[in-house]
Amino acid sequence: MKRTVVEKKALVITSLQGDLDPTILLITKRKPEELMIINTFGGLISQPYGCIIRSIIMAAYYENIKEIYVIGEETNHEYAVNAKDLLKKISDAGIAEKTIETLDYIKVVEKNIETWLIGPQDIKEIIKKNIELIQKHPLMPQSINVFGFITNSEAKEFTAIK
């Protein structure tokens, strides 16, 4: 079976879950076969040299990506993570409080484990930071356009983020 090669593709980084959301097609004005989608919890790219940014860079060079869309959902409940609830879930999973304290002590993340896991809560700020990270990354081709949008999937509406 011969693989169909799409000349120009778009990459979508989103927190939208499940099947391809029709709003993505409206925003990108592309067919599903012209899209690559990376889903990330909360829509956040948390590390400039982590797995998500690596996937974006590799897609740029090997999948002929010409545009990147960073899309977040305004009604997404992922952004309302409760710190106490999260720590209880971690504890219930058998992770000792001492483990969290040790990770905080050795500073494996910028602030502390709890803040790192919860991440920022403002979707507009998340999208802006992601756009900046992608555009300013030293390994990202400057010829790729990066766009940001906040969607309301239920209403099939979206707003561009500058």
Which pLDDT tens digit goes with each residue over 143-158? 999 999 998 877 778 9
What is the count of structural domains for the chain? 2
The verdict on 146 and 125 lying in the same domain is yes
Q: Give the torsion through C-alpha atoms of 14, 153, 82, 54, to 10 deg.
A: 0
Residue 49, classified by CB atoms within 10 Å of its CB into exposed (0-12), middle (13-18) or buried (19+), is exposed
The verdict on 94 and 152 lying in the same domain is no
pLDDT band at 46 (very low <50, low <70, confident <90, very high): confident
Q: Which residues pair with 70 in a beta bridge?
A: 13, 148
Residue range of the domain that includes 36: 9-79+121-161
The verdict on 66 and 41 lying in the same domain is yes
The verdict on 31 and 75 lying in the same domain is yes
3-state SS class at 9: strand
Which pLDDT tens digit goes with each residue over 70-92? 998 876 555 567 788 888 999 99
Per-position DSSP letters for 19-56, written without gaps between them: S--HHHHHHHT--GGGEEEEE-GGG----TTSHHHHHH
Whole-number Å distance between alpha carbons of 15 and 19: 12
The verdict on 75 and 130 lying in the same domain is yes
Q: Which residue has the higher pLDDT, 153 or 13?
A: 13
Residue 56 covered by a domain: yes
